[in-house]
Structure 1
Amino acid sequence: MTKPDFISDSATFYPLWERASARVQELASASPAELLYFDSVDISTQKFFELVLALLAQEGGRDFVSLVLKPDPFSHFNFHFHKYPGFVHRAEQSDDDFFESWQQDPGDSPADCLWANSERYAVLPTPGTWFMYADRKREMGVLTGPPNILAFARSFYPFFLQPGEGFSVVE
């Protein structure tokens, strides 16, 4: 079994980045009923990984993607490392593979692993209807998707939060 590796070609990365960026823009006008909030550090927990797998199973999916949206994946990450700050996680890869991917050295710079050097990230199925976005500076992330997905997620994941009135995870 192969372990996840950084996305190395623009033909794979760019459509995923465009899809994630478009979904982030949609979040700005989403109503609170369309969002479930979580702590942005939850991505490093087993229960969060299990939530991702459960959401995939709800839609009959198998694979998902994690991408860093900030710092800029093109002028920063690709410029320095000639790869992109994201991973396609295959169904046969383990939770350890997922956690290790976020710690992976992109090339002679362990401090630039995605865990240490990501301000905003996205997790999304390939394909699927749900979407996760988090902003570490705001210490918050959101899950959005159709009502049945949100209802399932709410019943599965006990760590969703209630942000303060008027809070927006998108600037």
Structure 2
Amino acid sequence: MTTRTPLRQLPLLEHNGKIANQSIAICRYLAKQVKLVGKDDWEDLEIDAIVDTTMDLCLKTAFHVFEKNEKVKQAQAESLFNETIPFYLGKFDSQVKENGGYFVGGRLTWADIFVVAMVDYMSFLIQKDLTANYPNLQIVKENVMNVPNIKAWMDTRPKNKFFTSSELK
């Protein structure tokens, strides 16, 4: 059986007749195409570490959000909201502060865009703005959202039943 989805899952990128899958691999490829990568191998390592750490936090958050057993969910909540999320976001906030409003190298990389998108998604899942107590993460979000093409997309994208954390009250 031939399929356009090699692993029968999305996302996919089709480019020059070739198909690639896996969201982070696709992000990394596209970042290279538009020069949103590090200036050297070390910066690329730092970017990858931020992205992978963000995915660790996303998984911990998702395990809680999608837990069906309410007793287990309540037990997870205290640790997640009082320890895990503050630990990760505190580290991220410090790193952004050290890099002048960005995660790596004092300039926009795909790590900034990735983290802003994923933290926005996690905020949506838990119905709380996760950046509220992290001023440097708010700065990186502003830096990302003020990129002209990102701003244009955010202003004109189709509206649907889903929303972003920026719409949380």
Q: What TM-score do the two structures reach when normalised by structure 2?
A: 0.29
Question: Which of structures 1 and 2 has the larger relative contact order (alpha carbons within 8 angstroms, sep 6+)?
Answer: 1
Structure with the largest fraction of helix:
2
Higher Rg of the two aligned structures? 2
Structure with the largest fraction of strand:
1
